[in-house]
Chain A
Amino acid sequence: MKMNLTLLPGEGGIWLKEQQVGELLAMNAEAGKYGLALTPAAAAEIVEERNRVLAGCGRVDLNVSVTKQLIASFSSSPFVQPEDYVPLLHDLHEVFYYLKNETEDTIGDAELIAILKDAYENTCRGDSELLKGKIAAAIVERFRTERRDVNCWGNEEADR
């Protein structure tokens, strides 16, 4: 039996979407310090794009706390220009939820955002394509190597 997790109050979850758009618009106060702001249409687009990414990754996120954390963290970066702001948030959602899956939920939201922010500024120098590509692949590779090491170590322990 497949459940309908999109069954939200009212017609098609409009009520919730409005609430989430409102929450993102409220982040303009913070982002505005760095000359960044979302229009209601852009905020709505971000919510929709985020939902599309979630569906593509097979994940459920019932609030926009991750989006708000991404805004709070990345808006202070000197590499973010107003014209790149919305596309950057789309890219960040994509890489964030991809990595949540690939690292098997072992990295918490705040920690993963900190890793992405550090890589975005220090390795990618503001190139979000590089972040989504090579950097994401490197994070996944490191996770798998560490897990393999842990498993090997664990097996040795068990054999003793």
Chain B
Amino acid sequence: MNNENRQPVVPDRQELQPIGRPDQNTAAFRPGGRVDREAADGFRAEVMLLLQELILQYTADSSSSVRVETAERILRSLLYTIEVGKQSGPETGPGRPRTRSARELYGRGLQILTACLADAKELYSEVKWKKLSVPLRTYNYTINEALPEFFLSYEVLFGAHETMANIDYPLLCDVPDLQGVFYLHRYLAQLALENEFCRCFRPEEIMRLLHNYGRIYDIDYRVSMVNICEIVVNNAVFAILAGRPPGELTLTPAQASDLSRELHALAPGELEAAVLSALAQIGTAPGGRPGLAEYLRQYAAGLVPRVRIAAASGSLDALILTEPAAEAAGPVFIGGERMDDRRFAAVCRRITESKTAAAKAAVILAEISSPEDLVDLFEADCLFGDEYTTVFRRLDATVLAVLGRVAFEAELRAGPLSLAALTAPPESGTEWQEKYLEYLRSLRGERRQAVEKMLNTVRII
């Protein structure tokens, strides 16, 4: 291949951000700049011709007419693409000649959008590959389902301007007011940066932070709209300010109290300088991705005032995520990621098709890594009668205890449970809960003691 002739189809990722919400009203029927009436009319005629061609492409040459809504959608897409071509052309600088050809602008815009789409797909592969293993619903849904749906439904020819995706996971810094694939590209670039940053910390540390976040704010973090990077950055900043070694995220309540007092004593300017310095340290730490420092500087605009207000009002404790006191901390069970619906259905099918209870248990042990999935599976009519017992026998004491915390959630809220006192399944008990209780009551010796102890102490995060 002759590289000299190769056209740079994709602008640099840093530069792929110029198109916000271009004017798609009828004013966009103009070539741009000051033009005479004849040129404007010629430009509009070209646009209409392009629209006609696109309608034919849309109907695969079988129909020259479409419904008004469809024509409007295609026209919006066409004008958006022309605007992309206008704003991204080589002649946009001062004193450069402007092209007056709608077709040329459209062609250039389409090339840029197509390249941006291809680059967004690459970014998505990276995001998917480097996805964090956390049981956060919005995060997993956005990456596993919403983003692929966008790529499936996005039509660069007929809906270039559309951003049809249920992207719920919030980012550390808002995506600017972009449209279409430019929005998605920026979203993915930021998400990739955040993932990369979070991967500099141990997964258990991040899970602890998420769990502590849920505990401190008394919410189920798994269904909350929290941004993982935000709580990681915040605690990383506080850890640095507390003099912890780089890479640490966890603070004890005592360390947080000391830090609160220190920050409260600082003048606002000193406080701001301290937070900015900590963010700069994080942004330039080895292993950080290019652009991280700038991204964190952007985030500082939101973090600094929050820290200043919290320090002034003595409420920094609510911002710093701390570990619970040692006596309250028990063994921790970190569940794996939940399956998506398709994979879950496939596992259910494999279990149902397995001929023996042992084979069913083998599939469960090999495939299921989240307690929620295990409970869902028990409730999906894949197992019958003694097959439950076969599975329970193969589970270790911790997982059995985790199941117990789900089955006897209400009873455990009232206080510690003794297996001897458990005589009946919960009122709304299902078959698996009845079998589970039967199995627990049949346990003897060390295993019984281990399950009972775990049942009362294990924390699921």
Cβ–Cβ contact A7 & B68, under 8 A: no
Cβ–Cβ contact A8 & B65, under 8 A: no
From A15, A54, A109, contact of B45 by CB (8 A)? A15
Asked if A101 is at the interface of the complex by the 8 Å CB criterion, the answer is: yes
Cβ–Cβ contact A62 & B52, under 8 A: yes
Chain B interface residue count, Cβ-Cβ cutoff 8 angstroms: 26
- For A65, list chain B residues within 8 Å (CB): 64
Cβ–Cβ contact B65 & A66, under 8 A: yes
Contacts A60-B71, A62-B48, A62-B51; A9 near B42 (Cβ below 8 A): yes
From A3, A8, A9, A59, contact of B66 by CB (8 A)? A59
- For B52, list chain A residues within 8 Å (CB): 62-63
Cβ–Cβ contact B48 & A58, under 8 A: no
Residue of B at shortest CB range from A10?
B41
- For B69, list chain A residues within 8 Å (CB): 58
Contacts A5-B72, A7-B29, A10-B41; A59 near B65 (Cβ below 8 A): yes
Complex Cα distance, B302 from A115, in Å, reads 66
Complex Cα distance, B68 from A61, in Å, reads 9
Cβ–Cβ contact B67 & A58, under 8 A: yes
Cβ–Cβ contact A108 & B75, under 8 A: no
From A8, A63, A109, contact of B62 by CB (8 A)? A109
Cβ–Cβ contact B63 & A62, under 8 A: no
Cβ–Cβ contact B68 & A59, under 8 A: yes
Least Cβ–Cβ distance between B293 and chain A, in angstroms: 40
Complex Cα distance, B26 from A4, in Å, reads 7
From A2, A5, A97, A111, contact of B65 by CB (8 A)? A97
Give per-residue flags for B47-91: 1 if the beta carbon is below 8 A from chain A beta carbons, else 0: 010011001000100111111111110011000000000000000
Give per-residue flags for A85-109: 1 if the beta carbon is below 8 A from chain B beta carbons, else 0: 0000000000001001100010011
Q: Interface of A with B (CB < 8 Å)? A: 1-5, 7-10, 15-16, 54, 58-63, 65-66, 97, 100-101, 105, 108-111
- 8 pairs of A and B residues whose beta carbons are closest in the complex: A108-B62, A61-B65, A60-B71, A62-B52, A9-B45, A9-B41, A9-B44, A65-B64
A-B contact pairs, 11 of them (CB 8 A): A3-B25, A3-B26, A3-B75, A7-B26, A7-B44, A9-B41, A9-B48, A58-B69, A100-B63, A101-B67, A105-B59
